[in-house]
Amino acid sequence: MPSVKQFQVTFDCADPERVARFWCEVLGYVVPPPPKGFANWEEYNRTLPPERQGASFVCIDPSGVGPRMYFQRVPEGKVVKNRVHLDVRVGTGLVGEERLAALEAECARLVPLGAVRGQLLLADDENESCLGMQDVEGNEFCLD
C-alpha cells in the first residue's frame, strides 16, 4: 500500500496576496513567517527582481493538518469553470433546515470579504444541500 503524500493546492490568479488573504479568512489559515533575515514579506518582496515582486503568496493551516495553499500570478484571466474546486465543509453532520442555516450563515460571513454567492443546490435522494460560491477572482468553491 502506498504511503499518504502531503500536497498543496495551487491557484492561478492575478493578485496572489489578495486571493491568499481571502482564503486565510475563509479557512482560518495564516500567512507563514517571512524568510529568515526579513522583518516581513514586503521587505522580502523588495529584494526580488521587479517581475517576481508580488508574483506569489502562501497561506498555511496553523495546525499543520490542512494542505499548504500557493497562489501564483499568471498573465491570463480566468475564462472557464474550474475543473477542480474546494468544498468548504461548514455543514458536516447537519441536515435539512439546520444545514441550510449553517450554509447561509457562512455565506453571510464570506460575502463582505469579497465572495460572490452562487446557486443553492437543495438536498435530493443522494446529496445533501450545498451552496455554490466564487472567491475574489471568480474561482468557484462550494459551502458544503
Nearest to 11 by CA among 55, 53, 44, 41: 55
pLDDT of residue 16 exceeding 80, the answer is: yes
pLDDT of residue 30 exceeding 80, the answer is: yes
pLDDT of residue 2 exceeding 80, the answer is: no
pLDDT top residue among 1 and 56: 56
Task: Count the Cβ atoms, other than its own, within 10 Å of residue 106.
Answer: 19
The DSSP code sequence of 65-97 is -SPEEEEEE-SSPP-S--SS-EEE-SSTT--HH
Nearest to 106 by CA among 89, 119, 94: 89
pLDDT of residue 36 exceeding 80, the answer is: yes
The per-residue pLDDT for 90 is 95
Cα–Cα distance, 140 to 115 (Å, whole number): 10
Nearby residues of 14 by Cβ (< 8 Å), 6 or more positions away? 73, 74, 77, 137
pLDDT of residue 68 exceeding 80, the answer is: yes
Beta partners for residue 141, in sequence order: 86, 133
The per-residue pLDDT for 138 is 95
Q: Which helix (H) or strand (E) holds 26?
A: helix 16-27
pLDDT of residue 133 exceeding 90, the answer is: yes
Instruction: Please state whether the predicted TM-score (pTM) of the whole model is above 0.75.
Output: yes
Q: Which helix (H) or strand (E) holds 140?
A: strand 140-143
Beta partners for residue 30, in sequence order: 60
* pLDDT per residue as tens digits for the range 80-115: 888 889 999 999 999 999 999 999 999 999 999 999
pLDDT exceeding 90 applies to what percent of the chain? 85
Nearby residues of 143 by Cβ (< 8 Å), 6 or more positions away? 87, 88, 90, 91, 103, 106, 107, 130, 131, 133
